[in-house]
Amino acid sequence: MDLEEVRERAREVLRGICRVCAVCNGRNCPTGVPGMGGAGTGEGFRRNIDALASWKLNLRVLHSRKVQDTGFEFFGHKLPFPILAGAIAGAKVNFGGRLEEREIARALVLGAKACGTVALTGDGPDPEVFSAGLAAIKEAGGWGIPVIKPRANEEIIKRIREAEKVGALAIAIDVDAAGLLNMTRVGQTVEPKTVEDILEIARSTSLPLILKGVMTVADAEAALAGGAAGIVVSNHGGRALDHTLGTADVLPGIAAAVQGKLMVLADGGVRSGVDVLKMLALGAQAVLVGRPLLIAACGGGPDGVKAQLESLAQELTVAMRLTGCGNLRDISSEIITPVRS
Ligand SMILES: Cc1cc2nc3c(=O)[nH]c(=O)nc-3n(C[C@H](O)[C@H](O)[C@H](O)COP(=O)(O)O)c2cc1C
């Protein structure tokens, strides 16, 4: 599938919402939140891009790593590469209903599964958002991870039971959605979570619990103390709070504090295999990709998502070869240099 044709079709579908720019960097978005851009000034979205760009790779080609293995162990499952599809939901509010919620969820979940990797799905004030994700995960034989909003614990646990029924691989909570006005305005609680709250949720299920939206060492340590099996270093693509740091700014400190104790994933501004490699060198075990995969889903459905993921994986392979890495264990801070402008 030709990715340029996919992007051209997506440009039509998303007209007035997203320009499907050559590089998706938050500099020319016609919309913020709702839409495809960032919250407020969009600075958090742009900082993700700039933070990644401030790290440069050390080209290294005189070495013995002639074959690259991008295989990644994810909670007992072998994935072909360390790139997952992030949750993109809220079709009615974000895309003016031009796409059906179930269509997006299906494209992301089935497209990811078609190339052996995993997608996350979303949650929102409209019950259709969560159920569309679950339906897609069910269709994929449980191969997906629902992300639940940081609702009251009993509401979260109710949704965990539903996720268990469809055989989901893990459960995630986007803890950075604790201030989401479109939930509170319609009387649906979202709230910051204490370590005790997290413990109660983690103990309610045998599935791994992933907390998405961790941007400080303190929150990473709270996630660990609460029994989370993983975190996503994420600022929700700059959509939760304006003027946050970029994820690549905070990732090294967080990874140093909790690496080896829980799984560290990261997202925000990953646009190429080179960006994937940078995130791994900064301490992530795998990355999530958001907006580029929604664009691929709009323009090409599951096949578009698969093609975009495979293109990123291919770029990662080349970038690993040119930095002396044969497998993911070879990737370390040795291969990157910060260049502060
Ligand atoms: C339109 C849109 C909808 C999103 N919906 C959700 C969601 O329902 N749940 C969630 O955890 N993250 C959601 N996200 C955030 C993404 O999962 C991811 O963290 C972010 O997009 C990564 O940044 P990137 O788009 O720069 O790759 C959404 C992002 C966008 C752009």
CA of 290 to the centre of ligand 1 (A): 5
Residue 185 confidence (pLDDT) above 70: yes
Beta strands 55-57 and 77-79: pairing type? unpaired
252 lines ligand 1 (CB under 6 A): no
- Is there a contact between 266 and 278 (Cβ–Cβ < 8 Å)? no
Tokens 């983690």, residue located: 202
Which of these, 225, 291, 216, lies nearest to 256 by C-alpha position? 216
Confidence of residue 307 (pLDDT cuts 50, 70, 90): very high
Q: What's the CA gap between 127 and 158, in Å, rounded?
A: 13
- Is there a contact between 282 and 252 (Cβ–Cβ < 8 Å)? yes
Number of domains in the chain: 1
CA of 324 to the centre of ligand 1 (A): 32
Which atom belonging to ligand 1 lies closest to the Cα atom of 124?
Answer: 8
193 lines ligand 1 (CB under 6 A): no
Q: What's the CA gap between 109 and 124, in Å, rounded?
A: 18
Token pair of 112 as six digits? 């990811």
Residue 341 confidence (pLDDT) above 80: no
Mean pLDDT of 40-61: 98
Token pair of 278 as six digits? 């940078």
pLDDT tens profile 61-85: 999 999 999 999 999 999 999 999 9
Q: Name 171's bridge partners.
A: 209
Residue 235 confidence (pLDDT) above 90: yes
In whole numbers, what is the pLDDT of the chain averaged over residues?
Answer: 97
pLDDT tens profile 85-111: 999 999 999 999 899 999 999 999 999
Burial class (CB in 10 A: 0-12, 13-18, 19+), 319: buried
- Is there a contact between 54 and 250 (Cβ–Cβ < 8 Å)? no
Which protein residue has the closest C-alpha to ligand 1 atom 15? 236
The parent domain of residue 54 ranges over: 3-326+334-338
Token pair of 39 as six digits? 């919250």
Mean pLDDT of 41-57: 98
Phi, psi of 111 (to 5 degrees): -65, -45
pLDDT tens profile 123-138: 999 999 999 999 999 9
Which atom belonging to ligand 1 lies closest to the Cα atom of 172?
Answer: 11
Which of these, 287, 260, 302, lies nearest to 113 by C-alpha position? 302
- Residue 259's CATH number: 3.20.20.70
The stretches of the chain forming alpha helices (DSSP H) are 3-13, 43-53, 91-94, 101-114, 127-139, 153-165, 181-184, 195-203, 217-225, 247-258, 273-281, 291-321
pLDDT tens profile 151-182: 999 999 999 999 999 999 999 999 999 999 88
